[in-house]
Amino acid sequence: MLKGLLQSLLRLFFHLLYHQFAWTYDWVAAIVSIGRWNDWVMATLPFIVGPRVLEIGYGPGHLQVAMRRNGLLPYGVDASWQMSQFACLRLSECCFEPMIVNGDAQIIPISYNSFN
């Protein structure tokens, strides 16, 4: 019973963090990773094959910006409207046109080989 309660509380916490409290996401990520969160995210760059990339769950858009700066053409889908707003703002501030959508990645109609 305690395990089920803990799972429910964690599920609620992460839902709120990614939606209503998305404005705290970068702060929380920095705290729980002891300041290494963005380093961990950026560590994926050498493994991304492009140029056309689909990022599922782009969050606040840090990797979207990094991919653009590295000559890739990333598109993204994220279920959180709040994260979409942050990512759009971040991309626009860096003079990149946001090529992201708010939606459910499990139901997006993408044809095979649309992305590298």
Domain membership flag for residue 22: yes
Confidence of residue 4 (pLDDT cuts 50, 70, 90): confident
User: Domain with 92 in it: what CATH number?
Assistant: 3.40.50.150
Distance of CA 30 to the CA centre of its chain: 15
pLDDT in the model for residue 93 = 97
Q: Is the pLDDT of residue 1 over 80?
A: no
pLDDT tens digits for range 41-54: 999 999 999 899 99
The residue type of 19 is H
Bridge partners of 54? 75
CB contact set of 39 (below 8 Å; sequence gap of 6+): none
Q: What is the pTM of this model?
A: 0.86
Q: Work out the average pLDDT over 92-109.
A: 92
Domain membership flag for residue 15: yes
Range of the domain at 45: 2-107
Q: Work out the average pLDDT over 63-89.
A: 96
Domain membership flag for residue 116: no
Bridge partners of 102? 78
